Chains A and B, each alone.
Chain A
Amino acid sequence: MDAASIEEINKLRKAMGMKPLPVPGAPPPKEPTPDPDAGSTIESREAEGFDNYRKAQEAEQAKRRREEQKKAVMKAREMAQRNAVLEGKGIADMVSDEELDAKTWLKNQKKRQKKIDAEKREREEKEAAAKAKAEHTAADLAGVKVAHDLEEFLGADDQILTLKDTGVLENEDEGDELENLDLREREKLTEKLDLKKKKPLYDPNDIDETGERGILSHYDEEIDGKKKKTFTLDTSGAATDLADILNAPVQKRRHQVVDLDLLEDAPAPVSDYLDASEVKVKKPKKKKSKSTRRKADDDDVLFPGDQAVAGDADQQMEVDSGAVTYTKKRKVIEEDFADDDDLQTSLALQRKDALKKRKKTRPEDIARQLREEASQPPESEDGENGGLVIDEITEFVDALQAEREEDRKLPKPKNQKVVTKMEEESSDEDEEMKDVDHGHERGITPLADVPVTGVDEEKTVDQGLGATLALLKDRHLIEDQKGAEQNEKFRQRQKFLTELNRRMALFDEEARLQRERDRASGRHDRLSIREREELARQQNTMREQHQSRIMDQLFREGYKPNVELRYIDADGRSLDAKEAFKELSHQFHGKGSGKGKTDKRLKKLAEEKRRMAQSMLDASQNVGMSTAASHQGKKRKEAGVRLA
């Protein structure tokens, strides 16, 4: 291997990032190799030792130098301190400054004496105050609480009160309390006894003196804690609120004030049962007049001015005997509300009584009133004093009344006519029907102004028979039937019937002609009546035979009966064969299908009804598709959504 080729390879190796091969001619690459054997010989070790010694020496020297420096710093500081103390004035300097002679000293002596006296006085005062404090009087007890009810001290003789036993910090803000141990014991005992008594929670007789009674007041103790009866002492040692207690007015019990007059005025409570005194046996004779009278009463109560007019009307009605029919009608109406009949009647009675009580106007009174009015001068007529005032309301009521009268009159002529003529009533009815028809037509006026949208418009019934048919077909409410076949059948039948009629007529005509001929020929003249009859019978039988033969033939060739069994259930739906069978079966066996089946059937019916009522264009059910379109799609098994 020559060096050139190796170098060439090295280039490649260098490019690939590999270690180059050693070239034989080139010197080996230098590498800094550490001294492999340091301290391996005695000499080298000695040299190391010397080095070490020198290092130690140096360290020691450095230490010493540092300590020296420290000492120097300390010394300097001490010196500075010493100098600082020595600065400032000495006592001698101060003395030397003040010029102190006997005169000034004497002057100052007075001041000094004064000062000393003041101090002395102050000290004495303080001592006196301390002494005063040490003495305990009634004034010190001012504002101290006593934890007992004041009443307990009222009757009794001297009592010894002690400070209540509590923690030091317990009642810091409330202050000290005094109590009597004996009293305290007694209170505890009574409390225990009360608890043992098992009192009821609510005592109606135990009404608070003040009249204030909280809701569920027996829980107040548990919620707010026990209410302590305390009082405070004042400077004289007496209780502060003693005066208050003595001066307080005796509070009376509050009574609930009930005004009995009001109760008198109020209507008596309605009894469910009729009072025995109220029950009256009605006389049938008076019934008529009573009913009219009642009407009059109602009217005059409401509109006292119209009494005369109303009475007139009533009289008229009596003449017409229309009142009887009216009452009858009313009875029927009342029977409709039979469920609370008693209640209604009792209420009505009560109402009537109230109205009567409020204003009783009898015809005599009114007559008297009228007379008075007539006697009075007309200018005094203000309308205030029960005169006839015609305003809007009365006019309205008059109109109402007039109408009612007409109503009452109306049945009368009809009744009469019923007896005499039947046709007129029927004609009347016809008119009514017409009216109804008119109304009907008005009800289904065509919707001309329906907004035209892009959607094809739904056909409506008013557009004609064709449109109706189309509508029904669209909704699948009627099935396509074999129209042609049915038509053919119908025509056949019609033809048959006409033929039959024609033949019958022909036959009759022939018979008549023959009879005529016989009569004309005078054949019967020779015969006796019996013979004549015999002959006629013979001829009749012959004719009948002939006729029946012809008829038979006709029926044989022309008559095709159209048998159609139709079943209609209770709701008016036409049933198909299966349903009809079920229905019949149920009827026969006397029991229907079970709950599940019935429910299913009802659901189906409801669905059908809904479908029939649904609009063709209603998109709510099948989104985006009209019913017809969706049906079509289902038939063709296509899926799709109508976008517009």
Chain B
Amino acid sequence: MIIVTVNDRLGTKAQIPALPSDTIKQFKVMVAMKIGREPHEILLKRQGERPFKDILTLSEYGISNGVQIDLEVDAGD
């Protein structure tokens, strides 16, 4: 089990436990539960990189315990 920190860059951080084998989509659901926003509106990315794709897993993006990723609002474009 790893704990991932999600920072929305507006002064709020959320810590979410997950398994490295979880996909980004599943992870987004858990984030959504934590921050109270629809899963499809959530866009996750490392700072200065391209946003994560839904079908890949956390381990494939090299996310291990205690890593912080950025959260943005996905406008669907």
By a beta-carbon cutoff of 8 Å, the part of chain A in contact with chain B is 1, 5-6, 9, 12-13, 16, 18-19, 21-22
B22 pairs with A1, CB closer than 8 A: no
B21 pairs with A19, CB closer than 8 A: yes
Instruction: Give Cα A9 to B17, complex, Å.
Output: 8
CB distance from B13 to the nearest CB of A (A): 14
Chain A residues contacting B16 (CB-CB under 8 Å) are: 9
Is B73 engaged at the interface, CB distance under 8 Å to the other chain? no
Q: A1-B17, A18-B22 are in contact. List 8 more A-B contacts (CB 8 A).
A: A5-B17, A6-B17, A9-B33, A12-B33, A13-B30, A16-B26, A18-B19, A18-B26
Chain A residues contacting B30 (CB-CB under 8 Å) are: 9, 12-13
What would 15 A/B residue contacts be, using CB atoms closer than 8 Å? A1-B3, A1-B17, A5-B17, A6-B17, A9-B16, A9-B17, A9-B30, A12-B29, A12-B30, A18-B19, A18-B26, A19-B19, A21-B17, A21-B18, A21-B19
Instruction: Give Cα A1 to B33, complex, Å.
Output: 16
Q: Give the A-B contact count at a CB cut-off of 8 A.
A: 26
Interface of B: prevailing SS: mixed
Instruction: Give Cα A593 to B50, complex, Å.
Output: 90
Residue of B with least CB distance to A20:
B19
Interface size class of B (residues with CB under 8 A): 10 to 19
Instruction: Give Cα A18 to B22, complex, Å.
Output: 8
Chain A residues contacting B22 (CB-CB under 8 Å) are: 18
Is B59 engaged at the interface, CB distance under 8 Å to the other chain? no
Instruction: Give Cα A188 to B29, complex, Å.
Output: 114
A16 pairs with B15, CB closer than 8 A: no
B29 pairs with A1, CB closer than 8 A: no
Query: 1/0 per position for B25-39, CB-CB distance to A under 8 A?
Result: 010011001000000
CB distance from A8 to the nearest CB of B (A): 9
Interface of A: prevailing SS: helix
Chain B residues contacting A13 (CB-CB under 8 Å) are: 26, 30
Instruction: Give Cα A296 to B16, complex, Å.
Output: 147
**3 closest residue pairs by CB, A with B:** A21-B1, A1-B17, A21-B17
B19 pairs with A16, CB closer than 8 A: no
B16, B17, B22, B29 — most chain A CB neighbours (10 Å): B17
Chain A residues contacting B29 (CB-CB under 8 Å) are: 12, 16
CB distance from A380 to the nearest CB of B (A): 141
A1 pairs with B19, CB closer than 8 A: no
Instruction: Give Cα A591 to B66, complex, Å.
Output: 116
A5, A6, A18 — most chain B CB neighbours (10 Å): A18
CB distance from A75 to the nearest CB of B (A): 73
CB distance from A5 to the nearest CB of B (A): 8
Chain B residues contacting A16 (CB-CB under 8 Å) are: 26, 29
Instruction: Give Cα A5 to B30, complex, Å.
Output: 12
Residue of A with least CB distance to B23:
A18
CB distance from A329 to the nearest CB of B (A): 117
Instruction: Give Cα A13 to B15, complex, Å.
Output: 16
Instruction: Give Cα A19 to B16, complex, Å.
Output: 15
Chain B residues contacting A6 (CB-CB under 8 Å) are: 17
Instruction: Give Cα A19 to B21, complex, Å.
Output: 9
Chain A residues contacting B1 (CB-CB under 8 Å) are: 21-22
Chain B residues numbered 1-59 whose CB sits less than 8 Å from any CB in chain A: 1, 3, 15-19, 21-22, 26, 29-30, 33
B26 pairs with A1, CB closer than 8 A: no
Residue of B with least CB distance to A18:
B26
CB distance from A114 to the nearest CB of B (A): 116
CB distance from A15 to the nearest CB of B (A): 10
Chain A residues contacting B19 (CB-CB under 8 Å) are: 18-19, 21
Instruction: Give Cα A6 to B19, complex, Å.
Output: 12
Chain B residues contacting A9 (CB-CB under 8 Å) are: 16-17, 30, 33
Instruction: Give Cα A88 to B1, complex, Å.
Output: 96
Instruction: Give Cα A153 to B17, complex, Å.
Output: 131
Chain A residues contacting B33 (CB-CB under 8 Å) are: 9, 12
CB distance from B68 to the nearest CB of A (A): 16
Q: With A12-B30, A12-B33, A16-B29 in contact, do A1 and B21 touch (Cβ < 8 Å)?
A: no
A5, A12, A13 — most chain B CB neighbours (10 Å): A13
